[in-house]
Amino acid sequence: MSELIARERRQLELRVLRYNPQDPDATPAFQSYFLEEADAMTLFIALNEIREQQDPSLQFDFVCRAGICGSCGMLINGKPGLACRTLTADLPARINLAPLPGFELIADLSVNTGKWMRAMSERLETWLHAASDDPDIDSLEPVMEPELAQEIYELERCIECGCCIAACGTLQMREDFAGAVGLNKLARLRLDPRDTRSDADFYELVGDENGVFGCMSLLGCEDSCPKDLPLGTQIAWLRRRMVASTLD
Ligand code: SF4
Ligand code: F3S
Ligand code: FES
C-alpha cells in the first residue's frame, strides 16, 4: 500500500468537568467534546479548538503555551499536568479533564493558584532575607561556589503551577500544609548563603506539621512536577536540617 495514503486520524473525546461556582443553578457535570486529532496536538491546542469552534463558554487558563507560566495545570486522566506540554498522542482517545484540587475554583478548568501561592509565600516568607536589604549596611554579597549557585538555580526553576499541591495527599487533609512548592522554596533559601536567617528562624516557619513534619513522603509531588524538581530529596534535607538544629 502506498505510504502516501494518509494515516487515519483519531477521533478524540475530551470529557471536561464543568462547574461555575458563581452560578447558583449550576451543578458539577462532565461534558463531552469531540474533535479530530491533529499532528503534534497538545491539550492546549485541543481546548482552544473546542472553545473557538464549539463552546466559547468553556473556561481554562493559558498564557505562555511553553511550560513557563504555570497557568495551565489541570487533572489529565486523574494526574496533574500542564495542558500545554501534554500531547494528545500520549493519551487514550477518551481524555478526562478536571480542575486541580486544592485551589479555589474559578470555573471549569480554571483555578486560582495565584491566591494560594501568595498566601503560602507570605506565611513562609519565601523571599531572600539579605543583609543588603538594610540601607545602612554597605556589604558585598558573599562569594558563592559555582556548584552551589547551580544547585540553587535548579531549585528556582519552579513555575508555581500547583501540580505538586494537587498530587499531595497531605494537602487534601491539612489545608495549611506548605506543600512541596513551599518546602522547596525554603530549602532553596536555607541553602543560599545570602539569606541571613538562622536554622531557628526557619524552624519557626516550617518546623511543625504544616511544614517538614507534615510531609509523609508520598512523593506524588515529585511524580507530577513538570520541571522534574527533586522535591522528595529537598524536603528530606530540610527536615534533617530542622531536626539537627534542635539538637545543637
Ligand atoms: Fe509546579 Fe514543580 Fe513548582 Fe510544584 S514544585 S509548583 S509541581 S513546578
Ligand atoms: Fe506530599 Fe510530596 Fe510530601 S506528595 S506528603 S509533599 S513527599
Ligand atoms: Fe504556560 Fe502552560 S500555558 S505553562
pLDDT digit string, tens, across residues 15-56 = 999 999 999 999 999 999 999 999 999 999 999 999 999 999
67 lines ligand 2 (CB under 6 A): no
Say yes or no to pLDDT of 71 above 90: yes
Which residues 6+ apart lie within 8 Å of 246 measured at CB? Answer: 203, 207
Class of 125-130+147-247 per CATH? mainly alpha
> Residue 11 has which C-alpha cell?
477521533
Say yes or no to pLDDT of 134 above 60: no
Q: pLDDT-derived band of residue 135, with 50, 70 and 90 as boundaries? A: low
CA 85–ligand 2 middle distance (angstroms): 23
pLDDT at residue 2, rounded to an integer:
47
184 lines ligand 1 (CB under 6 A): yes
CA 71–ligand 2 middle distance (angstroms): 21
Closest CA to 98 of 131, 123, 74: 74
* Closest residue by CA, ligand 1 atom 8: 158
Across all residues in the chain, what is the average pLDDT?
A: 93
pLDDT (tens digit per residue) in 210-242: 999 999 999 999 999 999 999 999 999 999 999
Look up the CATH number of domain 11-111.
Answer: 3.10.20.30
Closest CA to 145 of 196, 190, 192: 192
pLDDT (tens digit per residue) in 74-133: 999 999 999 999 999 999 999 999 999 999 999 999 999 999 999 999 999 999 998 765
Parts of the chain belonging to CATH 3.10.20.30: 11-111
- With 0.85 as the threshold, say if the pTM is over it: yes
215 lines ligand 1 (CB under 6 A): no
- Name the residue with cell 494528545: 88
102 lines ligand 2 (CB under 6 A): no
Say yes or no to pLDDT of 6 above 70: no
Q: Which of 227, 233, 235 to mutate to test the pocket of ligand 1 (most atoms within 8 A of CB)?
A: 227
Which residues 6+ apart lie within 8 Å of 4 measured at CB? Answer: none
Helices (H), 61-218: 113-124, 146-155, 163-166, 169-173, 179-191, 199-206
Parts of the chain belonging to CATH 1.10.1060.10: 125-130+147-247
